[in-house]
Amino acid sequence: MTEHSGKPAGAALEKGAHGALDPRDIDLFEFARGGRSASGVARLSQLPRMLNEVPAEAPDRDTAFTWQAEGFTQKELQDDGTEGPQPYLRLAVHGDAWLTCQRCLAPYEQAFNADTVFRIVQTEDEADEFPLDDDEFDVIVGSRHFDLVELIEEELLLSLPLVPKHEVCPEIHESIASGADGAQGVDSVDDVPEQEIEPEERVNPFAALESLKKDGPGSKH
């Protein structure tokens, strides 16, 4: 994590001497160089791509996420060999959203806790110079009219679990419990094999070819 002397992103943040900020229209360079901070709430109804991840039968499809943003600079060596202030942004997002469990297919509530430091650069070419797997910070291209809500949504999408699921499923979905042949007797989700095909049910393409040869035109019966 990049070190700096500002307040932690999770602390109570002030909006600075310039008054309240519009999170969809921020001069990100001024925000960082002025050491400004802001906080707010983003609802899922404001985040259409995240809302697409929420099942229609969820108990609440418009949950709220709290966010805190903090700008700061850090002296770094510039291309001309001199030291200059490099702008950074720290963004923390916390909240819950309902997702579909991939084991039992029922909605469950997933917690999100993202806390990321971003190095702010001027151009895409400059951003491409940094490795994608840097553990200290991510890189974003800043602007004078930066949409912070869009960045909040990106962070939530990146925080989605690869396989959404309950820690312990309350029940097993009927299609999983019964199986394709309607067999019963599965006591838990963990008892369900990922793929179960009886040996006699496997199709042997060579056997099928032999059958065609025997039954084809000119074959003797």
Q: Is 32 in the same domain as 122? A: yes
Count other Cβ atoms within 10 Å, centred on residue 188.
12
Q: Is 147 in the same domain as 204? A: no
* Listed residue (76, 70, 113) closest to 88, CA to CA: 70
Q: Where are the alpha helices (DSSP H) in 62-219?
A: 124-128, 148-158, 174-178, 205-215
Q: Is 102 in the same domain as 41? A: yes
Burial category of 163 from C-beta neighbours within 10 Å (exposed 0-12, middle 13-18, buried 19 and up): exposed
Q: Is 142 in the same domain as 33? A: yes
Q: Has residue 68 been placed in a domain?
A: yes
Per-residue pLDDT at 50 = 97
Q: Is 205 in the same domain as 125? A: no
Q: Is 187 in the same domain as 150? A: no
Q: 67 near 152, Cβ under 8 Å?
A: yes
Q: Within the chain, which residues score under 70 in pLDDT?
A: 1-19, 134, 172-221
Q: Has residue 142 been placed in a domain?
A: yes
- Residue 218 CA to residue 163 CA, distance in Å, equals 55
Tokens (6 digits) for 176: 């999983």
Residue 177, sorted as left (phi over 0), alpha (psi -120 to 50) or beta, turns out to be alpha
Q: Is 70 in the same domain as 110? A: yes
Q: What is the pLDDT of residues 142-196, one digit of tens each?
A: 999 999 999 999 999 999 999 999 999 987 655 555 554 444 444 444 444 444 4
Q: Has residue 21 been placed in a domain?
A: no
Residue 195 vs residues 99, 179, 198: alpha-carbon distances, Å:
25, 11, 10
Give the number of domains in the chain.
2
Q: Has residue 22 been placed in a domain?
A: no
Q: Which residue range(s) make up the domain with 45?
A: 28-158
Q: Is 209 in the same domain as 112? A: no
pTM, whole model, 2 decimals? 0.70
- Residue 71 CA to residue 94 CA, distance in Å, equals 18
Q: Has residue 18 been placed in a domain?
A: no
Per-residue pLDDT at 209 = 46
Per-residue pLDDT at 22 = 93
Amino acid at 40: G
Q: What percent of the chain has a predicted confidence (pLDDT) above 70? A: 67
Per-residue pLDDT at 80 = 74
Q: Is 48 in the same domain as 121? A: yes
Q: Is 150 in the same domain as 199? A: no
Q: Is 110 in the same domain as 208? A: no
Q: 67 near 92, Cβ under 8 Å?
A: yes
